[in-house]
Amino acid sequence: MTQYNLLQTENAKPIKMWTKGVPVEPEAKEQLTKTAKLPFIFKHIAVMPDVHVGKGSTIGSVIPTFGAIIPAAVGVDIGCGMIAVQTSLMAADLPDNLLPLRTEIEKAVPHGITPKHRGRDYGSWHDAPAIVEQYWQQLAPGFNKLTEKYPRFLKTNNYRHLGTLGTGNHFIEICLDEADRVWIMLHSGSRGVGNAIGSFFIEMAKKDMEVHIQNLPDKDLAYLEEGTEHFHDYVEAVHWAQEFARLNREAMMHNVILAMRKIITKPFTTHMSAVNCHHNYVQKEQHFGEEIFITRKGAVSARKGELGIIPGSMGAKSYIVRGLGNKESFCSCSHGAGRVMSRTAAKKQFTIEDQIKATAHVECRKDANVIDEIPMAYKDIDAVMTAQNELVEIVHQLRQVVCVKG
């Protein structure tokens, strides 16, 4: 017996939803139905249990397309995703007071954003370390090619943002698994340059479709057709941004490990288990005997045997998972717990006292600026995991002890 719910409407491809036991907003279903009406959707849309309304397209959806890509479905945080490494440290090796460790990590990785009127942005590098230069050398040829045609991207935060965290739900965490082994986990994407690439091509898609945009179920579903100049340029640009995101996470991980070694005197290794996966991206894949484009908007690849990361909310547990290769889900799983309320609603509903209580076991910020990330603003991660137990199997369960927020 299959675990998904089927949402079927007239003149639309089927929508298969792995959402049994978790809430789904009517607005998310409406947004999904609009996407399913597009003529180039291949077979069906797969929906993950962390599904919720997104800008342009539904978060927690897997959109298979034939001959077209929707830039707004990929979004502006291109290549956003997770990286995790298991260390040789145990919980007993961590200091009793974790504040110095959090402070050292915050010094090692630029995070957050400084308003323009307050001078230099402390969320970007002033003097980038050698590791940033090393990774930039891998990205430079692609960036030069991109900016030859689109010089506008020269004015973005690119080099200065490589190896930086960002804002919102981006985070760095020190976690313990079920055997009290220490893990490092972080979440970020392609930063300023990825945002600029995504925003530009979303507008290009709308412009290219000016004549037809009124016929779309939603103007944010404007798409680029394969064979056109902008489609080709977007595919190249998005792949570059996804590579930036992957290296961005690697550079941060490198610097977090260095920061930990300043505080923890016991020698440790970090090569034992590592995962680096996107959850906002598009790429060509083979499914049901066809080569198609798969857009994962808040979803992770979960091919058989493939490792992935499903983080819970700030103060809740997270999971390292192994894919089961479920064909109906286009070999995908959720990318997290998924929000049950907007950031604005969370700030109205909860107080600093609520935040302190919910994160009592975590060394983290507990001020008004992070209330929108309070655990209660997210779905129950246990229910989310149960709803997708035919998509992934749990390898490790992690609980946070330190959390750095952007």
Instruction: Report the catalytic residues.
Output: 335
Task: Decide: 75 and 238 in contact? Cβ < 8 Å.
Answer: no
